[in-house]
Amino acid sequence: MELSPTAYVILGMLSWSPKSGYDIKGLVDHTTRFFWAASYGQIYPELRRLAEAGLIEAKDTDTGGRRRTVYGLTPGGRAQLREWLAGDPEVFELRDEGLLRLFFAGAAPATAPSTLDAKRRHHETVIAQLREIEAAGKPEGFAEIVLRYGIEMNEWAVEWCERAGAELEAPAKGKGGR
């Protein structure tokens, strides 16, 4: 069975402890969404597929008068996660609409400064969010390494936006794209 990236997010989250789909989504929103997002519409179908494949198992529980399903990793699921972790990553994709708009800004050069400003503000917002996560209880181990990457990469992006903005303010010499 070929697994989707969302399936691996779920297996990774369940490797820490059993969780409901709601718990997984909450964790994604506070951790991996900065580099790998997953929606409820992706998580719940994957939970069903993983359970059907025997990689996770579901257990119905009552918590606070509320019925919910908690999923745990099976030995087969743990083996699948370890196998995936042992391989080389296949996707190093960056999707950034700001860069896409800037790439084509030659068609409307006056839009470039506002695009750079929006991109800079976005990265500043992400830095603030990551610093809040850091302050709330610094993650340890590999999560700390990834958090530090996120902070430093976004700090670099803010600086890059400022440098590119200064270039745009300088007299344009052959600039403006193709």
Is residue 81's pLDDT more than 90? yes
**Which whole number is the average pLDDT over 25-52?**
94
- In the chain, the number of structural domains is 2
DSSP 20: E
Q: Is the pLDDT reported for residue 113 higher than 90? A: yes
Which whole number is the average pLDDT over 135-157? 93
Residue 92 lies in a domain: no
- Among 95-99, 125-129, 135-139, the least confident range: 135-139
Give the helix/strand (H/E) hosting 127. helix 112-136
> Can you tell me the distance from the alpha carbon of 80 to that of 46, in angstroms, rounded to the nearest whole number?
15
Q: Which two tokens stand for residue 53?
A: 């494949």
> Looking at the structure, do residues 37 and 61 belong to the same domain, yes or no?
yes
Query: Is 178 within a domain?
Result: no
CA dist list (Å): 67 to 20, 52, 62, 84? 11, 21, 5, 33
Token readout for 68 is 């919910």
Whether residue 112 is found in the same domain as residue 161: yes
**Strand partners of residue 59:** 70
Considering the domain boundaries, does residue 55 fall inside one? Answer: yes
Same domain, 106 and 74: no
Mean pLDDT within 28-35: 90
Predicted confidence (pLDDT) at residue 178 exceeds the cutoff of 60: no
> Is residue 9 located within the same domain as residue 67?
yes
Residue at a domain's end among 86, 118, 152: 86
Q: Which pLDDT value is given to residue 1?
A: 82
- Say what the pLDDT of residue 92 is: 87
Q: What is the mean pLDDT of the chain?
A: 92
Both 81 and 109 in one domain: the answer is: no
Residues 67 and 130 in one domain: no
| Residue span of the structural domain in which 11 resides | 5-86
pLDDT score at 140: 86
Q: How many helices (H) and strands (E) does the chain have?
A: 7, 3
Tokens coding 3: 């697994």
User: What b/e sequence results for 95-122 when a residue is b if at least 16 CB atoms lie within 10 Å of its CB, and e otherwise?
Assistant: eeebeebbeebeeeeeebeebbeebbeb
pLDDT over 60 (residue 138): yes
Q: Verify that 102 and 165 share a domain, yes or no.
A: yes
Among 63-67, 161-165, 174-178, top mean pLDDT goes to 161-165
Which of 52-56, 125-129, 169-173 has the least mean pLDDT?
169-173
Q: Is 174 among the domain residues? A: no
Q: What is the pTM of this model?
A: 0.82
